[in-house]
Amino acid sequence: MSEAATDSGNKKLFWACFIALVATSFFFGLRSIVVPDLQKQFGLSGTQIGQVLGVGLWPFAFSIIVFSLIIDKIGYKSAAIFAIVSHTLAVVGTLVAIRNSSYDWLYWSTFLVAIANGTVEAFINPVVATLFSREKAKWLNILHAGWPAGLALGAAAGLILASAGVGLFFKLAICLVPVVFYALLIIPRHFPVQERVAAGVTFRDMLSEVGAIGFFLMAWLVVMGVGQIMNKPVHLPVSLGVSAVVGAAAFGYTRSAGNWMFVLILVSMPFLATTELGTDTWMAELLAADLPKMAGWVFVMVSIIMTILRFYAGPIVHKFSPIGLLVASAALAVVGLLFLGKAPASLLVVAAIVYAFGKTFLWSTTLGVVSEQFPKGGALTLNGVSAVGVLGMGILGAPLMGLYLDKGIDADLKTTQPALYAKVDGGMKATMFGESPSLKNDVVESLPEAEAAQVGAVVNANKKKAFIRQSALPAFMLLIYLILFFHFRSKGGYKPQELASSGGGGGAESGS
């Protein structure tokens, strides 16, 4: 096959992967707009909404870990077809949930969306890293422009359909459109052999990059996730014990504690995921306090800015180096979140733009760093960081955001409006973190205008505080990135690691 034909095939496969990622984030963007509709239809507290949003994230990690371990055996196309089927079933299940006002159907359909999303991530990242093995950070950034593009499309679709008076059922049914689109693009494509396999790096060597510490962290989060699935909190000694066994087994097999830089990046990922995905999940609702008619469109604007910046990531990565870009991005994310928490309504759009510039390159550049520094880790290291991030976000980040919001609203109402509080107090509801206060949503909606305004003021004030709390997360990430930055400086600067046989695409998978 000629070089031109190979390049053309690589680009077609790249854009198929790009659209698959657009489809996954389309779900996320649309869901961020319909959060109030879900809360109203199913009568959910803030904590329960946090749990639903969380289950739309962390099962992603289950599928991404499992597929990262087996994907080189079963083939990338098999994983892609599994994702297509799972996405389709998830949409159908969500529609059944709405028709029957069934929380269980909603929960498990959202769970299946996350499984499908993780499967997409499991195949697109190593495929693109293999196709463009000499410019991984650049092309992984461009690939992940598909994430904010899908967010913008999903959120815009939700807003337009809402303005047309379309109900929740048909708003979510539209999610089938991008699924069909990426299915048509993916199925005809041929997938390459991943660069680790092409270079002859063994399965044991791949696991060694993660090592005992990395597997301990992954196992602990997975155990906690299983507890959330079963709605039964896992006691800390139990989760640590199971994780220690997994870590010991990994050490026994690999004789490696793990690459210290990779472990450090793993530790940062729950903070990164909550900074980006957690804030994205709540963005429209949090901004609605000050921009009731524009909040959704501000979210769309932020996503469009991210899309454009990631498309032009090449020169930016070249100028700053991947680690330098992470340092600058984390610092800007801190400023942006503090700005969002403190800014008056007249400056909220400016604050959102600052936040967008800060968060744009965090996730995609982290993937670039991992693929360039730990190529022996293949699909496992590249996808493992995303798995740990989403697990931490879904199990801890999103539910804790909801819990703090519920507790803040409860405490402020009880203190400032005791008579009104007695009317709207919904009592304590069970969550994975224990009992959480709640409001009677039906009572709140039927309050006289003056009392509704008083409740709204308390709720809005606490939503603003959420941004300020979030700023501590990128501050912690900044510390980790500075450690890595000075480490690379001491070694003469950031340099990608290359596998001896890595060659920009390799051969094709047999049978696909």
In-domain check, residue 376? yes
- At 438, is the pLDDT very low, low, confident or very high (cuts 50, 70, 90)? confident
429 bridge partner residues? 436
Q: How far apart are CA 240 and CA 484, in angstroms?
A: 28
Compute φ and ψ for 428, nearest 5 degrees. Answer: -95, 135
| pLDDT recorded at residue 1 | 46
- At 511, is the pLDDT very low, low, confident or very high (cuts 50, 70, 90)? very low
Look at the block and give the residue holding tokens 């708003």: 171
Q: Higher-confidence residue: 281 or 76?
A: 76
In-domain check, residue 503? no
| pLDDT recorded at residue 512 | 43
- At 282, is the pLDDT very low, low, confident or very high (cuts 50, 70, 90)? low
Compute φ and ψ for 163, nearest 5 degrees. Answer: -65, -25
- Assess contact for 283 and 148: CB atoms under 8 A: no
| pLDDT recorded at residue 488 | 96
pTM of the model: 0.84
By percentage, how much of the chain surpasses pLDDT 70? 93
425 bridge partner residues? 439
> How many domains would you assign to the chain?
1
Residues 6+ positions from 160 with CB-CB distance below 8 Å = none
In-domain check, residue 509? no
Q: In which element (H, E) is residue 435 found?
A: strand 434-439
By percentage, how much of the chain surpasses pLDDT 90? 49
Look at the block and give the residue holding tokens 């050490």: 251
Look at the block and give the residue holding tokens 């994983």: 79
Lowest mean pLDDT: which of 208-217, 279-288, 332-341, 401-410?
Answer: 279-288
Mean pLDDT for the stretch of residues 479-504: 86
Q: How far apart are CA 257 and CA 211, in angstroms?
A: 5
Mean pLDDT for the stretch of residues 106-118: 92
Strongest mean pLDDT among 47-56, 410-419, 459-468: 410-419
| pLDDT recorded at residue 38 | 84
| pLDDT recorded at residue 272 | 95
In-domain check, residue 499? no
Strongest mean pLDDT among 168-182, 188-202, 245-259: 245-259
Look at the block and give the residue holding tokens 């957690």: 278
Mean pLDDT for the stretch of residues 141-149: 94
- Assess contact for 141 and 325: CB atoms under 8 A: no
| pLDDT recorded at residue 233 | 72
Lowest mean pLDDT: which of 104-108, 154-158, 446-450?
Answer: 446-450
Q: How far apart are CA 455 and CA 419, in angstroms?
A: 12
**Distance from the first to the final alpha carbon of the chain:** 16
Angle at which helix 76-100 crosses helix 3-42, to 10 degrees, equals 20
- At 509, is the pLDDT very low, low, confident or very high (cuts 50, 70, 90)? low
| pLDDT recorded at residue 46 | 66
Which residue type occupies 362?
L
| pLDDT recorded at residue 393 | 83
Mean pLDDT for the stretch of residues 306-320: 89
Residues 6+ positions from 52 with CB-CB distance below 8 Å = 38, 44, 106, 107, 110
Is residue 25 scored above 60 in pLDDT? yes
Mean pLDDT for the stretch of residues 438-455: 83
Nearest CA to 289 out of 337, 335, 341 is that of 341
Mean pLDDT for the stretch of residues 437-442: 82
In-domain check, residue 356? yes
Number of H helices, E strands in the chain: 25, 2
Is residue 434 scored above 80 in pLDDT? no
In-domain check, residue 284? yes
Is residue 300 scored above 70 in pLDDT? yes
In-domain check, residue 331? yes
Is residue 226 scored above 90 in pLDDT? no
| pLDDT recorded at residue 96 | 94
Lowest mean pLDDT: which of 80-94, 188-202, 468-482?
Answer: 188-202
In-domain check, residue 159? yes
Is residue 504 scored above 50 in pLDDT? no
Q: Higher-confidence residue: 381 or 228?
A: 381
Query: Domain residues for 297?
Result: 3-419+455-490
* CATH code, domain carrying 392: 1.20.1250.20
Mean pLDDT for the stretch of residues 287-292: 74
When computed from its CA atoms, the radius of gyration of the chain, rounded to whole angstroms, is: 22
Is residue 286 scored above 70 in pLDDT? no
